[in-house]
Amino acid sequence: MNLLPENFEDTLRTKIIGHPLYVYSQLDSTQITAKHLAANKAKEGTIVLAYFQKKGMGRNGREWFSPKGGIWFTIILRPHFSSEKANMINIIFTTACAEVFYSFGITQPVIKWPNDILINGKKICGILTQMKSKPRRKKDNLQNESEIEYALVGIGINLDTAIEDFPAALKNKATSIKQEIGKEIKMDDFLASLLEKIEKYYIMLKEDKFSKIQKEWKKFSLPFGILVKTSTSKEVYEGQLVGTNEHGHLIIRTPHGKMEEVSAGEIEII
């Protein structure tokens, strides 16, 4: 666990996100280190980045392959939203990532709700959002609601990984920026653009401009109308993808024409 004297932070064009930005040569997982920092009052916008993760964490208890040459980092947010709004955070982050992939020459990044970015069906980026909630402040008269004390948004981007270096189980399922555009991109350039976009959308979210971001999200989403199946939420639904609602929840039209709202889980294209 070596903290490095990198100067990424100086190259950022943001005010909140990435200040401070801690860069480690390796960690078990940036989520774990960020959690310790958040529990010890680290300020909103703090980032923990590692060049290599020994125990990278994916969603639903999966491992996340995190060799050198990828971008592995976690952002600490303290949005004071109700916990209900967690899915909006996923929408703004996936939209920011897709737009920045596009601006770096990847022509068709596709967002698979809630948290994946795919290129030609292969995963290039995954996001893991973990949260700690607390009861709402009394003065808001909303004692029964909980609000987010902090959110740890972990972003994993396959930057330079060559297909042959992915483990066998991922070879047909994952891709990297280098693989897609055939050239190397400097991590600090990519990170500066991504954090700028994330900050812009995060501020818009706080200003209740979620619907504007959702319009952008829609441009990169899996096409509406395709058949999908929710795979890990309590109930399993199959049907046509209709979009997301004002909370960032997924809407699926079942074969009986019923609109089902899905707030957690993943989807599979069928």
Binding residues (CB under 6 A) for ligand BTN: these are 29-31, 53, 56-59, 62, 64, 66, 72-74, 115-116, 126-128, 154-156
Of 29 and 95, nearer to ligand BTN (C-beta) is 29
Smallest gap from Cβ 54 to ligand BTN, in A, equals 10
Of 46 and 74, nearer to ligand BTN (C-beta) is 74
Q: End-to-end distance of the chain based on CA atoms, in angstroms?
A: 42
CB burial of residue 235 (10 Å; 0-12, 13-18, 19+) = exposed
Smallest gap from Cβ 10 to ligand BTN, in A, equals 22
Of 93 and 201, nearer to ligand BTN (C-beta) is 93
Contact 80, 142 (CB under 8 A): no
User: Residue number with the shortest CB distance to ligand BTN?
Assistant: 126
Of 115 and 176, nearer to ligand BTN (C-beta) is 115
Smallest gap from Cβ 51 to ligand BTN, in A, equals 11
Of 239 and 248, nearer to ligand BTN (C-beta) is 248
CA distances from 53 to 24, 48, 117, 190, 260 (A): 10, 12, 20, 19, 38
CA 95, 99, 100, 102 torsion: positive or negative?
Answer: positive
Smallest gap from Cβ 74 to ligand BTN, in A, equals 5
* Residue 235, CA atoms < 13 Å, CB-side half-sphere: 9
Contact 159, 185 (CB under 8 A): yes
Of 111 and 239, nearer to ligand BTN (C-beta) is 111
Length of the chain: 270
Smallest gap from Cβ 70 to ligand BTN, in A, equals 8
Contact 111, 98 (CB under 8 A): yes
Smallest gap from Cβ 171 to ligand BTN, in A, equals 17
CA 55, 100, 197, 215 torsion: positive or negative?
Answer: negative
